[in-house]
Amino acid sequence: MASKIKTAITPTREADYPEWYQQVVKASDMAERSPVRGCMVIKPWGYALWENIQRELDDMFKATGVKNAYFPLFIPLSFLEKEAEHVEGFAKECAVVTHHRLEKGPDGRLVPGGPLAEPLVVRPTSETIIGDAFSKWIASYRDLPLLINQWANVVRWEMRTRIFLRTSEFLWQEGHTAHATAEEAEARTALMLDIYARLAESFLAIPVIKGSKSAAERFPGAVDTQCIEAMMQDRKALQAGTSHFLGQNFAKASNIRFQTAEEAEAFAWTTSWGASTRLIGGVIMTHGDDDGLVLPPRVAPAQVVLLPIAHKPEDRQQVMDYTEALAGELRRVTYGGRPLRVETDSREIGGARNWEWIKRGVPLRVEIGPRDIANDAVFVGRRDLPHKQKSALPRAQFIAEVGQLLDAVQDQMLARAVAFREANTLAVDSKADFYAFFTPRNQEKPEIHGGFALAHWCGGSDCEARIKEDLTVTIRCIPFDAEEENGRCICCGQPSPRRVVFAKAY
């Protein structure tokens, strides 16, 4: 039975999680579907969140010596074909440019003209085009390591799309590095995964499990794909970032060779790693509630919104002056190494204004009325607490403690997400329990199932395929922190040295 309490978002998470997600995207004004099939328009509120994510990631990348560059959008078909597994993996979702102009057709309408001698693929990822550049840039071990990142749009033609989670065009960064040794490339693969985990946990308040993918789930052409996996509130997994150790596969395909210190000729060892606007979907699904978005303070487009309240016209000037002065003081506060982001909303639209900022997920809402001013106080609502639970705080104290308050919100959000994941993660040891864990208990809500199952797996692709076929459950990762433990595969009963994470996934 649906809850009787009125919520800002209809339906609630419990009533219909997928539809709740779409409604939060809409109500928070983050993005919308575009008239172009499978593509989205990222609106200012969503894009500002992306800019903050970009800035934190970019700073962390640069601190490890990575430099940004930019490579062509178009990849000649012949380049993509250089690595057999790679092209096989992406062939079905490539947008293909075949003409370079429009011309008048027989009926006077414009049609594609100027056919290209070789079709160009709109990059689904850039290993092959960047590999070509690397092959020219690298001659000697002195040119290594080469550490490059690109912020770009990519296109993967998807049949079923969902805003932020799976769209035909999305924004991401893709890092590409080349190294003299396998060990160094493996260390870089791990380092970048650590950065993604730090972004997720310290900035997005999303707890993640770090691990490696099974062979079946690897990036096409990779030797090892490492990932961070998060649990959403419908207990499904979201892959939130991947880091690939590519061995010498792409170096051989793109001819990335170098002269070693011993004057021998060798192929480089390469890595690639990426995170995308999908992370925004992860933020929504980890933290959102039935009143809308809940934003982690460290990346929120606005951390504080000031809401001046003047019911009487004669109060208006005083309230506005006080609000503007407070905004100025708050903007001089440093939070997370950056100036505090403060918005003022002085529209006179009644209670709708407060609800708009709740739906948009701003961490702190600050109401300022004549009575508050008389007390030199402000009235503060935290987005992570019930919306009626507000506190009066002396103005000076609020300014002095706003950082701590935001940290409290950030910490509380992470703690809740950790608790949720732990409550919905189970070590499962029998096949019957495993199947029961993933079987919906209520046929009307097929999306409600157990969550993450930590179970033994023999390492065989047959068992993996069987489980996927039966339950649409996949191995999310083989966690780095899994303990050695003698067990038996949940599917075939063969010996297994450690548990892996099974889940349904986005």
* Interface positions with a second copy (CB under 8 A): 32, 34-36, 39-44, 47-48, 50-51, 67-77, 79-81, 87, 91-103, 110-112, 114, 119-122, 129, 132-133, 136, 148, 152-153, 155, 157, 169, 171
Give the C-alpha separation, 503 to 358, whole Å.
Answer: 32
For a second copy, the closer CB: 121 or 208: 121
Helix segments in 120-240, DSSP class H: 127-137, 182-198
Residue 45 parent element (H or E): helix 44-63
Smallest gap, in angstroms, from Cβ of residue 207 to a second copy?
Answer: 28
Q: In sequence order, what are the residues at sequence separation of 6 or more whose Cβ sits closer than 8 angstroms to the Cβ of residue 128?
A: 75, 79, 80, 82, 83, 86, 250, 253, 254
> Per the omega criterion (within 30 degrees of 0), is the bond before 11 cis?
yes
For a second copy, the closer CB: 331 or 371: 331
Backbone angles phi, psi at 33, to 5 degrees: -65, 150
For a second copy, the closer CB: 148 or 402: 148
Smallest gap, in angstroms, from Cβ of residue 69 to a second copy?
Answer: 5
Q: In sequence order, what are the residues at sequence separation of 6 or more whose Cβ sits closer than 8 angstroms to the Cβ of residue 381?
A: 364, 365, 366, 367, 387, 389, 390
For a second copy, the closer CB: 123 or 421: 123
For a second copy, the closer CB: 274 or 450: 274
The position carrying tokens 């503007």 is: 324
Smallest gap, in angstroms, from Cβ of residue 66 to a second copy?
Answer: 9
Smallest gap, in angstroms, from Cβ of residue 180 to a second copy?
Answer: 17
Count how many Cα atoms sit within 13 Å of the Cα of residue 158 in the half-sphere of its side chain.
18
Smallest gap, in angstroms, from Cβ of residue 343 to a second copy?
Answer: 11
For a second copy, the closer CB: 87 or 500: 87
Tokens of 167: 């769209």
For a second copy, the closer CB: 155 or 406: 155
Smallest gap, in angstroms, from Cβ of residue 91 to a second copy?
Answer: 4
Smallest gap, in angstroms, from Cβ of residue 325 to a second copy?
Answer: 20
Q: Residue 453's beta-bridge partner residues?
A: 426, 502
Q: In sequence order, what are the residues at sequence separation of 6 or more whose Cβ sits closer than 8 angstroms to the Cβ of residue 195?
A: 57, 60, 61, 64
